[in-house]
Amino acid sequence: MIKKYLENINNSSDLKNLSIEELSLLAQELREFIIDVVSVKMGHLGASLGVVELTIALHYIFDTPNDLLVWDVGHQAYPHKILTGRRNSFHTNREFGGISGFPKLGESVFDAFGTGHSSTSISAALGMSIASKLKGENNRHHIAVIGDASIASGMAFEGLNHAGVTKSNLLIILNDNEMGIDPNVGALKNYLTSVKQGKDIHQKNVFEAFDISYSGPIDGHNLNDLIDELKRLKSIKGPKLLHVITRKGKGLRKAEDDQVTYHAPGPFNKFSGELIDQKELDLAPKFQDVFGLTLVELAESNEKIIGITPAMPTGSSLKYMIEKFPDRAFDVGIAEQHAVTLAAGLATQGMLPFCAIYSTFLQRAYDQIIHDVALQNLPVVFCIDRAGLVGEDGPTHHGAFDLAYLSCIPNMIVFCPMNAMELRDMLFSVQFDLNGPVAIRYPRGRGRHVDWRKSFNRIETGKGRLIKEGKDLAILSVGPLGETVQLICKKQAYSNVAHYDMRFVKPLDENLLDKIFQTYTMIITIEEGTVKGGFGAAVLAYKNIKKADHVGIECLGLPDKFIEHGSMQQLYELVGLDQKSIEKVIDRTRINKNC
């Protein structure tokens, strides 16, 4: 097809010059453009392909950016970005220095709100609507586009509950495709299915119970119907919800047929949709798979083990336990707070719950961690995936803060395995004598060990280990960065550098630290978490308690700012956690010691 529409769209106002037939042709071009770029540059594919017509219709009917449009999560925002002045820069999507993979305040006036986490759109758009009313901007429209997975979250219901009593000029678009990253679950999903089938729409409409006007469901790929209905809703005051049915991956058969894989598929053939072979046969496993497969192994002999994840069975690899023990493993939907307190309830009854949550999403359940788990000292195992930097997803998804925000909580044990074997051993060890909560944090991606399935060894709580002796200075590491330190220490130039894998951020191995303070006058701590309140800060605090004034400590970690998106190597270099940067710190420290 000869492209002649998309290349002339530089902002949303250009859409208004096209006929409905031309808009349909634009939709085809837009899908082809997204597939063309994402097939090579990678990113979130399926959700964006599913909202092409909806995006066009919204910008066609409403006066964006004066009318404020909020995209929940942002996985579905690629068409929006392309149609609002970022077509020529879209090839830089998620690249270091390029545009963000999510809507982002400051990137464009068309991005009304930054959305990397789910279920925030209704509350944000409602706040904008109330502000417009207070300023006398009574004709301004406020639109929240939220998926059916995201609307099941508690925060979305809090927003609905408030919206219904405000009479605000708010339009909620429910983008119903029965998918988050994995298939949707729960009673609300079943309700929406019954609505789509025409069952009891008026008798039990949950949205009208919130005093929100409901319309739909309508075909989200029919531009005529979308435009007609949006035009009608534009003239209606007060809060309203339009139920739109879309298909995730629309326009690419492979993406439609395998919506889980094609949520963010990696490189693929743009014509056939076939994934490009990444030759992973001889690679070490992903940390998430080490967790998921080990948990199944443990659950086979321990009937008290329960698995829980909030909408991430594939991403966390809890899918293995769900498949093997469906009665003992639960995907609770996008509901991190519920996941944590559900685990707490199970723990009161003698179960051993393993709650698998990404670091960045565990932030959403902080009160539940403190009030429902730690305060009651319940044995809940938090398996914290994607801890540390996560690469191209950027600041909304980096797991930068868990070491700091967990270490300050009484009763909490915080463990950082250096490799897959330590992760496996700690999962095994928490079955014994666990009297309170424990957090096990591990990174996104693969480890370095292909042969990881070794016999279990019990790890004693709060005990670090000496990896390599040395005379010049000591490096204290937690987590997989310890393997980078190992590589450094193998070089002749650093043969006199000692290395300790401390493993526990809380409790610290104070006996080991006492010996280290007695032996070394220079120490470097290394962690892949914020240096504010993290592992290094805990070592410094202990040094002050012991009045070890003769010991100099330099703390390496993530700086006190939000880290942008980019490849892992680029980000490590940016924050000084790549091998060369660490070696420079060692060299400088040794020079200062000898001065």
Cite the active site residues: 248, 336, 364
Within 10 angstroms of residue 300's Cβ, the number of other Cβ atoms is 11
Structure tokens, 360:
């960045």
**Hey, is 522 helix, strand or coil?**
strand
Nearest to 39 by CA among 90, 105, 88: 90
**Hey, is 316 helix, strand or coil?**
coil
Nearest to 43 by CA among 81, 5, 85, 4: 81
Q: State the greatest distance between any 2 C-alpha atoms of the chain, in Å, as a whole number.
A: 82
**Between the CA of residue 401 and those of 74, 211, 397, 411, 595, what are the distances in Å?**
22, 39, 11, 18, 36
**CA-CA distance, 111 to 105, in Å (whole number)?**
6
Q: Which residue stretches of 164-272 are H helix?
A: 187-196, 223-234, 253-257
Nearest to 503 by CA among 434, 565, 418, 573: 418
**Cβ–Cβ under 8 Å, residues 569 and 578:** yes
The full 3-state SS of 197-220, as one line of letters, equals: CCCCCCCCCCCHHHCCEEEEEEEC
**CA-CA distance, 344 to 362, in Å (whole number)?**
15
Structure tokens, 49:
């392909």
